[in-house]
Amino acid sequence: MLGRVNHIAIAVPDLHSAAESYRSTLGASVTEPQALPEHGVTVVFVTLANTKVELLEPLGEGSPIAAFLAKNPSGGMHHICYEVENILSARDALRAAGARVLGDGEPKIGAHGKPVLFLHPKDFQGTLIELEEV
């Protein structure tokens, strides 16, 4: 079911500062900020040879990232995103196996313009998992 790692997401309190650290200190290529209102975040992607790192900050008061940062004020790893060939088939197989899909269970369009779903961290050793259809 799982394909390659699409990205690892790090929640940050200040997106501009975090992106600049990756650019100037690590010499990384960083995309321009992209607001994703339906997900409650603003993101940038650090492009690597084998995957991406997503830096995300809260967008709006109802952002799920705001709650994460309240517990982790300096930021930290938020989720890992795996690619799947068919997100609906993956969702149905995971549900049949007892995994919980967050939200209403219907895919939303993610930062790459592709359908995504999130899986409950309590079902995966405390790690929030995002699935993205490729």
Q: What is the CATH number of the domain that holds 125?
A: 3.10.180.10
- Provide the pLDDT for residue 35: 97
Q: How many domains does the chain have?
A: 1
Q: What residues act catalytically?
A: 130
What digits encode the pLDDT tens for the residues 87-134?
Answer: 999 999 999 999 999 999 999 999 999 999 999 999 999 999 999 999
Which residue pairs from 110-116 have beta carbons closer than 8 angstroms and sit at least 24 positions apart in sequence? 110/36, 110/39, 111/34, 111/36, 111/39, 111/43, 111/45, 111/54, 112/6, 115/87, 116/81, 116/87
pTM of the model: 0.94
- Provide the pLDDT for residue 59: 97
